[in-house]
Amino acid sequence: DAGVTQSPTHLIKTRGQQVTLRCSPKSGHDTVSWYQQALGQGPQFIFQYYEEEERQRGNFPDRFSGHQFPNYSSELNVNALLLGDSALYLCASSAPYNEQFFGPGTRLTVL
Amino acid sequence: ELKVEQNPLFLSMQEGKNYTIYCNYSTTSDRLYWYRQDPGKSLESLFVLLSNGAVKQEGRLMASLDTKARLSTLHITAAVHDLSATYFCAVDWSSGTYKYIFGTGTRLKVLA
């Protein structure tokens, strides 16, 4: 049984560009959460999707948006990239009322 | 706003020694998680603590939760080099929401 998968593994963008990151949840999981982890920091909650809707949101600007598809996979979109958006982006999935399992992450570098 | 604080932030210890990492949080929650992260890698789940007084042990690591004191500890017994990593605690923002608030992390280095 595959765990949480994310793509791509690494990504390099320039300031002002837009980026889309993808996540496939663990089998049987219907909830997907996204976290941003800057270098040397703990992960910060961006938002959570359930039943194709954003259910919770952290303290991130509207430049960060997402989507969940009927198969429970999810995308994270970031517009107008800033240098400060450089980070490891982690996706986590969970089944109802159960702990989250984290994917391997996407390392985004903004130049 | 829920805040989660860990101490120490950095810990350098000799092999064979014992030490404790502390995780304090600022609001009521009865779900706390401990993770390990190796450099450049994702988060590996270590312990899930779901009630007051919960204690779990795996190898040289033992975690406990005191929800009344809003405190969790991760105790390391007879440290070995392989335990060198960054350890995070995370608290569920509100029981059942699964919005995790992470601590600052404790970077552990075990010296041979």
pLDDT at A2 over 80: no
Say whether B48 and A35 touch across the interface (CB within 8 A).
no
- Between B60 and A96, the more confident residue is B60
What is the C-alpha separation between A61 and B53, in angstroms, rounded? 38
Question: Quick one: average pLDDT of A53-63?
Answer: 93
Q: What percent of chain A has pLDDT over 70?
A: 99
Is it the case that residue B95 has pLDDT exceeding 90?
no
Supply the mean pLDDT for chain B.
Answer: 91
CB contact, 8 Å: B41 with chain A?
yes
pLDDT of residue A54: 92
Q: How confident is the model at residue A110 (pLDDT cuts 50, 70, 90)?
A: very high
Mean pLDDT of all residues belonging to chain A:
94
Q: Can you read off the two tokens belonging to residue A36?
A: 């941003």
CATH class for the region spanning A5-110: mainly beta
Mutate to test the interface with A, among B100, B101, B102, B106 (most CBs of A within 10 A): B100
Q: Mean pLDDT over residues B79-107, rounded?
A: 88
Q: Does B98 sit within 8 Å of A42, measured CB to CB?
A: no
pLDDT in tens, A21-33: 999 999 999 999 9
DSSP string covering chain B = ---EEEE-SEEEEETT--EEEEEEESS--S-EEEEEE-TT--EEEEEEE-STT-EEEETTEEEEEETTTTEEEEEE-S--GGG-EEEEEEEESSTTS--EEE---EEEEEE-
Going by C-alpha positions, the residue among A1, A3, A7, A15 that lies closest to residue A75 is A7
DSSP-assigned beta bridge partners for residue B20: B75
Q: Residue A72 pLDDT > 90, yes or no? A: yes
Provide the pLDDT for residue A1: 65
What pairs with residue A66 in β-bridges? A76
CATH class belonging to B4-111: mainly beta
At residue B82, what are phi and psi to the nearest 5 degrees? -65, -15
Q: Give the mean model confidence (pLDDT) for residues B75-92.
A: 95
What is the tens place of the pLDDT at every residue in B3-46?
999 999 999 999 999 999 999 999 877 789 999 999 989 999 99
Ramachandran region of residue A84, left (φ > 0), alpha (ψ -120 to 50) or beta?
Answer: alpha
Q: Can you give the pLDDT at residue B72?
A: 96
Q: How distant is the Cα of A31 from the closest Cα of chain B, in angstroms?
A: 9
Higher pLDDT, B93 or B75: B75
Mean pLDDT throughout B91-96?
72
Question: Which residues have a Cβ under 8 Å from the Cβ of B73 and sit 6 or more positions away?
Answer: B20, B21, B22, B23, B63, B64
Average pLDDT in the A38-48 region? 94
Would you state the pLDDT for residue A108? 98
